[in-house]
Structure 1
Amino acid sequence: MVKIQKISEITATLPFTEFDFLQKYRDGFKSSELGRIYEQLPLKELAEKIRGLMPVKNPQGKKPMFPLEGEIALMFLKPYTGMSDDGLVEMLNGNIHMQIFCGVLIDPDNPLKDGKIVSAIRNRLAVYLDIKSLQKILYDKWKSQLENKDMMLTDATCYESLLRYPTDVKLLWECCEWLHSLLSDKCRLTGESKPRTKYHEIDKARLSYAKQRKPRKSETKKLRRRLLHLLERLLKEWTRLNKITGGLIRLSAEQNKRVRACHMVLDQQRRLFNGEKIDHRIVSIDRPYIRPIVRGKENKRVEFGAKVNNIQIDGISFIEHHSFEAFNEGIRLKESIEYHKELTGIDAKRVGADTIYANNENRKYCTEQGITTCFARKGPRPKDEDADLSTARRIIGTLRSTSMEGSFGNQKQHYSVGRIAARNARSETLLLFFGIHMANAATLAARKIALEEKEKRQQEKRA
């Protein structure tokens, strides 16, 4: 039985009755918030771009459940609803407006039940996500609604991953616990004897340590030493088991990733225990690509997730650079200005940025390019300083601290990029991309609604 039908394929076969309910739903969709957002998204152009990056499929292959435009629309729905994959599928089954948004109709008698559909689509699209080219398509769609294209605001923020706060003890215990479980399963399957370790003894010590409100440093150091010895022993036993079985043990890609992460954690934690400083520190064996990002904020000194340098044009944000490794955004002002020119085709004449961008090299570059910035002037204020220039700097600085900082809060609180739940770097980047641009589309839709209401009130006054 067919679960999903594309609206474009069945429209011609739908019977015409006195009450065409589907047409009523379509009319209602156009005037709804979701319909307004749909008008702001160039789904067809985005699909054509991604389709051009995909390999040509065998015509005998399985027909996809959603059209490519529908898959992209589903990725926009994910941050819009803020729901889990299972919750999104359940809502899609019962919401006709969301089905129209994705260009499909779902049979009420045979609804979708597997939330893994969303995950499968996300993983497939993440491979072909080209941020710069897709953002160019989005800008071309939105540029007629943007003003002050010669002014660019820029700032960096960390979009955190959904992750427990990592400590050395927690990380070492996660490695030991998972390796012990893996060894137990494989020994049972191969008929080999289970290795003797002090796992259960250390488990009791760890539990007792975890119950303490504020353990002493000596207790923490002692437990870390014991966990390091246990992890080293478990890894040696795993190597021995592989040699005994002649390499017959097969692991999944996820298990292989974790084994490699455990080896790296052992090396890093051993060096940390000896007082060495390390780079590219692993904080999770489940997501070994995540790094600690030191932000220096009062309430949160360290964050864990993707660090992104954004540029903003008339309140609409675009990703200039992103990385799971820490980087200094202060040296990326020139690249941001160049990307603004690449995106808009217009030279930036006014630039708003945080004080970290106000180094001598950036000041010199902006002066040479004739760009007005919000940077505080060095040295004493000249007596004949232009009042208009001083006012312009103050206005640009105010916009940066309100519009730019406000967009970060809006994206993180309302569009599911505050604590991103993903299992790999590509999926996390995709969720980040669609969350930011769903916030952009919602902003533009709200502006259009406000403009229409204003025009309507003016017409009523004239009448």
Structure 2
Amino acid sequence: MQSQLFQPDVYVTPKWYIFKETELGKVHSSLPWDELAKCLPKENIGPGAPRWFDARGMFALMFLKSYLNISDEKLIERFNTDWALQLFCGKLLADNEKVKDKSILTRIRTYMAENTDLEAVQGVLIDHWKRDMSNTHVLQMDATCYESYIRFPTDVKLLWESCEWVFEKQLYRWCRILGFKRPRSKYIHQKRRQMDYERKRKKTHKEGTRRKKALLYLLDKGIKQLQQVLDASSSPLLTEQERVYLKTVRKVLKQQKFLMTHPANELKNRIVSLPKPYVRPIVRGKENKRVEFGMKVHMLQVDGICLIDKMSFNAFNESTRLKTSVLKHKNRFNQLHQLGADRIYATNANRTFCTSKKIFTCFPKKGPKPHSKQEHQLSSLIANQRATVMEGSFGTHKTAYGLTKVKVKGEKREKLYVFFAVMTANAVKISKRRQQDEAPPLLVAA
């Protein structure tokens, strides 16, 4: 039996009216589904495009993933048994029908990452939410880091993982398949030495340096032996994904050799994870966590609604984004009178720009003239708003919408995941505001 796709004349089932009154139904009502569907090509276009869901259904699954904050497998299980989730996606299953493909969310995420302009999607959502936003003349901005799910990187761990992949997953496997004799190496001996090293609770710098030198020699030899086996075969042995992985291992070897004779700050684009080679160390300078490994996001906030200005896995100075952010805000909301940001934005160039645009900021005033009493109160109000509401929204994204550690793999897919988590948090805020506006006034006894 074919599944029942919702059309305007089908919204007459009693389930739909019950769904509209739920919290999830309110979130559903706060999203412009027709406009969002136009941001994605038809689902039958392109290789690997999912066939179960249309464009609207794919957007809905991305919002549900962040809203429920559960794994892909659990989300599909709930979708098969919960008609509220099916109504949210606009696809009501028949009684004897269920989605059996557990990897469908991965394929949908890959398809959307390749075919979706996130800036255009954000524009559609903000245009739809404008009527629910009041203080649009105030702009807050700050940067945060959404960490990727990787083990804490060290040079010894990275080199040993590279050696394991080269010898056990590639060299020894292909020698066994092709019937070649294993080339001589110290891999088994170094494996025992590595286990002894990992058992130690305290590892000195001298021991770490000794391990790195031994692993560098072993990895260099293993890559050369693997290349000889690959050249001896008449047909290509590695898949496209394995060739990319081998290229990453070669780059790790080159970078680690460089670090043996140069300081770490001279190395650019340092790889810290083999499965996620695009992740870079982001120096944040926090007391409890000086370095974070993930995506740095420059965030704007207008009336409590977060807008993404820039997402990058490479570190950048957020103070250079002030002028661009102000222009984006004016193009979207047509007015800007007050700006809140921390002290890193208070450069001379940014101060001059804000003064020329007649924008009042919370920056500490320079020169002999102090703030007047009214200016001091307004500056403190803007700074407190940024430090509480905006910083609090970052914590909400990480704890409630799955951004504590991003487990999705792939640079574009991670950006898509973070984007929908932030937009889902916005949709929940908008739905709550609309509920408050629609609530009847309380009667006060005379």
TM (norm. structure 1) is 0.91
Distance 1:380 1:207 in 2: 64
Distance 1:157 1:50 in 2: 28
Comparing 237-246 with 405-414, which one deviates more in the overlay?
237-246
1:166 aligns with one of 149, 153, 161: 153
Correspondence list, 1:389-408, <5 A:
389-408=375-394
1:11 corresponding residue in structure 2: 10
Distance 2:119 2:49 in 1: 31
Distance 2:227 2:99 in 1: 44
Distance 1:374 1:136 in 2: 27
2:434 aligns with one of 448, 452, 456: 448
Distance 1:56 1:364, change over 3 A: same
Code of the residue aligned with 2:136 in structure 1: it is K
Correspondence list, 1:74-85, <5 A:
74-85=61-72
Post-superposition shift, 1:76?
0.6
Comparing 251-260 with 202-211, which one deviates more in the overlay?
251-260
2:236 aligns with one of 234, 238, 249: 249
Structure 1 residue 386 and structure 2 residue 372: aligned? yes
CA RMSD of aligned residues (A): 2.1
Code of the residue aligned with 1:177 in structure 2: it is E
2:173 corresponding residue in structure 1: 185
Code of the residue aligned with 1:220 in structure 2: it is G
2:162 is paired with a residue of what secondary structure?
helix
2:108 corresponding residue in structure 1: 121
Correspondence list, 1:279-318, <5 A:
279-318=268-307
Distance 1:119 1:62, change over 3 A: closer
Structure 1 residue 70 and structure 2 residue 66: aligned? no
1:46 corresponding residue in structure 2: 36
Distance 1:196 1:8 in 2: 67
Code of the residue aligned with 1:101 in structure 2: it is F
1:310 is paired with a residue of what secondary structure?
strand
Post-superposition shift, 1:252?
2.4
Distance 1:63 1:302, change over 3 A: closer
1:220 corresponding residue in structure 2: 208
User: Which blocks of at least 5 consecutive residues in structure 2 are unaligned?
Assistant: none
1:366 corresponding residue in structure 2: 354
2:340 corresponding residue in structure 1: 352
Code of the residue aligned with 1:47 in structure 2: it is A
Distance 1:457 1:347 in 2: 32
Post-superposition shift, 1:129?
2.3
* Residues 39-85 of structure 1: CA deviation (Å, up to 9, x unaligned): 11112211112228x89579xx9982111101110011001111111
User: Which blocks of at least 5 consecutive residues in structure 1 are unaligned?
Assistant: 13-21
Distance 1:9 1:389, change over 3 A: closer
Among all aligned residue pairs of Structure 1 and Structure 2, give the percentage whose two residues are the same amino acid.
Answer: 38
2:13 is paired with a residue of what secondary structure?
helix
Distance 1:258 1:444 in 2: 43
Distance 2:59 2:220 in 1: 45
1:377 corresponding residue in structure 2: 365
Distance 1:433 1:62, change over 3 A: closer
* Residues 248-280 of structure 1: CA deviation (Å, up to 9, x unaligned): 133223212210100100000011122343011
Comparing 22-31 with 393-402, which one deviates more in the overlay?
22-31
TM (norm. structure 2) is 0.95
Distance 1:178 1:365, change over 3 A: same
Structure 1 residue 436 and structure 2 residue 422: aligned? yes
CA contact (8 A) 2:132 2:433 kept: no
Distance 2:400 2:196 in 1: 39
Post-superposition shift, 1:381?
4.1
1:110 aligns with one of 90, 94, 97: 97
Code of the residue aligned with 2:213 in structure 1: it is R
Code of the residue aligned with 1:265 in structure 2: it is V
Distance 1:208 1:292 in 2: 28
Distance 1:64 1:178 in 2: 35
CA contact (8 A) 2:49 2:111 kept: no
1:262 aligns with one of 213, 231, 249: 249
CA contact (8 A) 2:145 2:295 kept: yes
Code of the residue aligned with 1:205 in structure 2: it is R
Distance 2:252 2:294 in 1: 18
Post-superposition shift, 1:235?
0.8
Distance 2:250 2:187 in 1: 18
1:18 corresponding residue in structure 2: none
Code of the residue aligned with 2:444 in structure 1: it is K
Post-superposition shift, 1:241?
1.2
Distance 1:331 1:25, change over 3 A: same
Distance 1:266 1:113 in 2: 42
CA contact (8 A) 1:411 1:435 kept: yes
Post-superposition shift, 1:380?
3.6
Distance 2:231 2:278 in 1: 29
1:71 is paired with a residue of what secondary structure?
helix
State the number of aligned residues.
443
* Residues 429-460 of structure 1: CA deviation (Å, up to 9, x unaligned): 1101100000000111122223334xx242x3
* Residues 6-48 of structure 1: CA deviation (Å, up to 9, x unaligned): 1339939xxxxxxxxx722211111111011011111221111
Code of the residue aligned with 1:302 in structure 2: it is V
1:34 corresponding residue in structure 2: 24
* Residues 401-453 of structure 1: CA deviation (Å, up to 9, x unaligned): 11110110111110112211112101101101100000000111122223334
Code of the residue aligned with 2:57 in structure 1: it is G
Comparing 415-424 with 249-258, which one deviates more in the overlay?
249-258
2:258 corresponding residue in structure 1: 271
